[in-house]
Chain A
């Protein structure tokens, strides 16, 4: 996989110069999750093209590889979680978070016989919990437990860290841990293997921030109009996702090549996440504070400097001007005001 990555990255690198000459080109990196589907919708429905954006999609298997490519200027936009870009920024990367992609989407899985014992946060005291470090679920669930008075550093519960969410699922199956934190579509796939979802993390920590849209700050500042048109396409994709569920499921399934029923269930039936392009400035700052509290980022830093909400607001105003009576766009504006101002 990594060899393929390297080979393709070289090709991407080879055309980097051409990109600089094309102000409308957007090379978009993402990781394979249904919740990252606004990119697929915007491309498939022609919104990028209609807004004058020449969009190319690149799938990555790790957030670190994706952000390294973004930092090197081989991508223009990255959708690589929340923890990873904040960690990169803490180490000096000049990224700007200018939008979002996903809210929620993490769940706690357990063996069926253990689910009844995991109904409340307090039930996790003394338990062994498996998680992949620096995933959104890791940061948010530890924070939820901390707010409930439980600290892993005081051995109130035990964290067992794994390199990937796939390893977490396996550990839960084997009984090596009492519960595991995984994201969509892993919990639904785990259910197919006999495990159960004990809770969605949103039950304990409502409306938490997940994957953000990141760009290199210099590029973002030099091409604000292009990024605004990119966001207009994403906002229109969000409207499509809200109004056309069946076609959305088809597009997500085609793009990700996973079971259509898994996509339908997570995206609509039980609404395990929400695709949403809002920058969620307040939630992002809160996430940063949680990472600091856990100890992932020892040094404080004014993270606000790296969050731009203005271009998203302008993009939203543009679509509202086009369709002033559209209820979904009005909802988005109210949501924006609540979460960014």
Chain B
């Protein structure tokens, strides 16, 4: 399989290296997608996607890079030494509020008992940001492009499906890396949940435009990936159907998606 998982114990040095070394080889150049993740149970969707072959099925060659804290992971993402990362939601939103050009593309694990998981970034303080994991990309890069991000998100949705349908096997796979007990998983980036957290953390500055947060949450990618998987499953998979019911996705409106009845527009321009 085309994955390389760095174990948490080894990751601090690696993270520091990845963050600060002059790292010239990008995913675009060598075809390997570097996915950072917080060594925390909420990141299990990434590990399950890797171990279960979902990334590979989406045509992605993934190199997993573990981090023990969100701050260094987010710094690596910003520096371009990883292409995407699964890190703490609260820390990610704070970085976005500080002006970092990050975009949230998917969700992850959320503790079923938030009190027990306070301080997932290693601070030990109980803060209102113990809301699990989000998956992010840098918003100002040519790579990963939309197609690649959609594939990555699709693999995470498949991982959620694996976790739900084959709980024992998948959880045991995930447990090989981290303990996923006490976690609920949802690959949906869920703008409204993030917006609530954003308000609770007091991150909306008066100078920010009203859509500041929405501009950093890429729900369209999740909806595209979910649509595709729903159709591929012949619209029958109960786990995917449930995700679809929970998501607030604008519809694929038109006959362009349902029979190619409308191919070009005379007198106008077909996009």
Which of A's residues lie within 8 Å of B, judged by CB? 1-2, 4-6, 8-9, 31-33, 40, 43-44, 56-65, 67-68, 80-81, 83-84, 87, 91-94, 132-135, 159-167, 169, 171, 176, 185-186, 189, 254-258, 296, 298-299
Contacts and interface: CB of A to CB of B under 8 A. Distances in A.
B265 A256 contact: yes
10 contacts: A32-B256, A61-B256, A62-B251, A64-B220, A81-B250, A84-B251, A134-B251, A166-B258, A255-B266, A258-B261
Is chain A's interface secondary structure helix, strand, loop, or mixed overall? mixed
Contacts of A5: 271
B22 interface: no
A92 B231 contact: no
B8 to A, nearest CB: 36
Interface of B: 146, 191-192, 195, 209-215, 220, 223, 226-227, 230-231, 235, 241, 244-245, 247-259, 261-271
Contact of B271 (A43, A44, A60, A166): A60
A178 B268 CA distance: 38
Nearest to B265: A59
B211 A32 contact: no
B258 A165 contact: yes
A161 B250 CA distance: 12
A254 B261 contact: no
A92 B232 CA distance: 33
Contacts of A299: 192, 195
Contacts of B251: 62-63, 81, 84, 132-135, 163-165
Contacts, number: 164
Contact of A58 (B212, B245, B255, B271): B271
A1 B260 CA distance: 11
Contact of B267 (A2, A60, A254, A258): A254
Nearest to B228: A163
Contacts of A159: 245
Nearest to B210: A92
Nearest to B208: A92
B250 A64 contact: yes
Given A32-B254, A58-B269, A64-B223, A93 B235 contact: no
Given A164-B251, A256-B265, 7 more contacts: A9-B271, A59-B265, A91-B211, A134-B250, A163-B227, A185-B255, A255-B265
B258 A63 contact: no
A68 B271 CA distance: 13
B257 A164 contact: yes
A4 B241 CA distance: 29
A134 B250 CA distance: 6
Contacts of B269: 8, 56-59
B235 A171 contact: yes
A255 B264 CA distance: 8
B262 A258 contact: yes
Contact of B255 (A44, A81, A186, A254): A186
Contact of A164 (B210, B258, B262, B265): B258
A165 B258 CA distance: 7
Given A87-B248, A298-B192, A57 B209 contact: no
B211 A92 contact: yes
A135 B254 CA distance: 11
A60 B269 CA distance: 9
Given A171-B235, A189-B261, A257-B263, A8 B211 contact: no
A166 B257 contact: yes
Q: Indicate the member of B226, B230, B261 with the most A CB atoms within 10 Å.
A: B261
B267 A43 contact: yes
A299 B265 CA distance: 38
Given A58-B271, A163-B230, A91 B214 contact: yes
Nearest to A6: B146
A258 B260 CA distance: 10
Contact of B191 (A6, A8, A57, A91): A91
Contacts of A163: 226-227, 230-231, 244, 249, 251-252, 257
Contacts of B268: 40, 43, 56-59, 255
Nearest to A39: B268
B212 A164 contact: no
Given A63-B251, A134-B249, A57 B265 contact: yes
A171 B258 CA distance: 13
A64 B251 CA distance: 8
A87 B255 contact: no
Contacts of A81: 250-251, 253
A61 B250 contact: no
A161 B244 contact: yes
Closest 8 CB pairs of A and B: A166-B258, A92-B211, A57-B268, A92-B210, A61-B256, A91-B214, A163-B227, A164-B252
Contacts of B253: 31, 61-63, 80-81, 132, 135, 164-165
Nearest to A165: B258
B254 A62 contact: yes
A167 B249 contact: no
Contacts of B248: 87, 133-134, 296
A96 B248 CA distance: 22
Contact of A32 (B146, B247, B265): B265
